[in-house]
Amino acid sequence: MGEIKRKVLVLYVGGTIGMQKNEYGVYMPVPDAFVNKIKSTSEMHDAKIATKYKIDLNENELILPNLGPNLIIYRIKEYHPLLDSSNMATKEWIRIAEDIKENYSKFDGFVVLHGTDTLAYTSSALSFMLENLQKPVIITGSQIPVFESRSDAKENFLSSLIFAGCYNIPEVCVFFANKLLRGNRTTKVSSNCLDAFDSPNYHPLATTGIEVNLHYHYIAKRNSSSKFSVHTNLSSNVGRLTFYPTIASEQLESFLKPPIEGIVLQSYGAGNISSNRTDLLKVLKTAVDRGVVIINITQCSKGSVSVTYEAGKALEQLGIISGGDMTAEATLTKLAYILAMPCSYESRVKLMKSNLRGELSSAIFKYHNNNEKETASGSIATLPSCF
């Protein structure tokens, strides 16, 4: 079999993965340092093969070694300035989406190197912004910089390149600590563990060990009949509010004042708030009547909201929308995406209730003996990989 050449564009946005310590012992981004480090790392770039294929190092073009007949040629586009992920919001999401759009026909896949703190927000936002995506977009980073002797950076980056270059996964994904997760099902669960991300209500799309195990049933089907498009209109008038026992109606009212257009309301357990607090219910009702889109999700790390209890039913009766088992990151970015659309309140409510990009389970989970979750809404991907 002949060689298979795959091209991957790497958008190096910033984050811990490429940071170095300054004179005060504090990590900070250093322009061009990450790219130069990767060029000199034999596992990430094969200089001998690069000469054979006339790889242009001056254009930050590199090639992975030891992939048999598969050649992954990747180009790193470094952002200036490099960004800590805590400094990212809608403007930066739009920039990433536009870079993918501009280069979409030139590359087989994309990797975004990103800080971990808001990585789940970016992956969720991009999943909605990139409609009818036919190619893999893998977002990754690290908990320890690549310059440290002990680091998770190289493995996360290398595996992301392989998934982006060799597998037909038409989704925005997060790769971290040997797991490939659906981007809009991902949340950060640890600030100091290398296994920093989880997908609490959806099965990993793939796991890596000695072998790469793809779970095809959970991967979105590729729809080649629909044209890829990018949505860059996002509303910034969205917020996230966690309920707590001592919340005052004045605090809630202040939070819901214009220009707010939509909020993610994180309630207790299966979607409950204090049903005997008529002052709070009145404030929420006033906001709904004004056209504020309020989505109710659970504060729990796993599970879904429901109307099992009277306290949860009270929210539904106010016109507050159930967010099912969506993550807070997916709910917020979905709101930002939908509220930017020129449509009616009723249409926005319908869209929020709909499963647009696999962010929301549309069927009841079935539990197996090994406690693995499988959703009837999952679809089996029949597309072959180059491995």
Distances (CA, A) of 377 to 132, 198, 220, 259: 18, 20, 10, 36
Encoded tokens for 361: 């389970």
Contacts of 124 by beta carbon, 8 Å cutoff, 6+ apart: 183, 184, 186, 327, 329, 330, 332, 333, 334, 359
Residue at token pair 């919001």: 89
Encoded tokens for 369: 């003996």
List the catalytic residue out of 16, 118, 331, 333: 16
User: 14 near 28, Cβ under 8 Å?
Assistant: no
Distances (CA, A) of 249 to 105, 254, 266, 278, 325: 52, 9, 16, 9, 27
The per-residue DSSP string of 75-134 comes to EEEE-SS---GGG--HHHHHHHHHHHHHHTTT-SEEEEE--STTHHHHHHHHHHHEET--
Assign 23 to helix, strand or coil: coil
Any catalytic annotation for residue 16? Answer: yes
Closest CA to 10 of 81, 89, 103, 85: 103
Task: Provide the CA 180 distance to its chain's centre, in angstroms.
Answer: 11
The per-residue DSSP string of 348-363 comes to HHHHHHS-SSS-S--S
Cα separation, 362 vs 324, in Å, equals 9
Please give the helix or strand (H or E) that residue 339 lies within, else none: helix 328-339
Residues acting as catalytic residues: 16
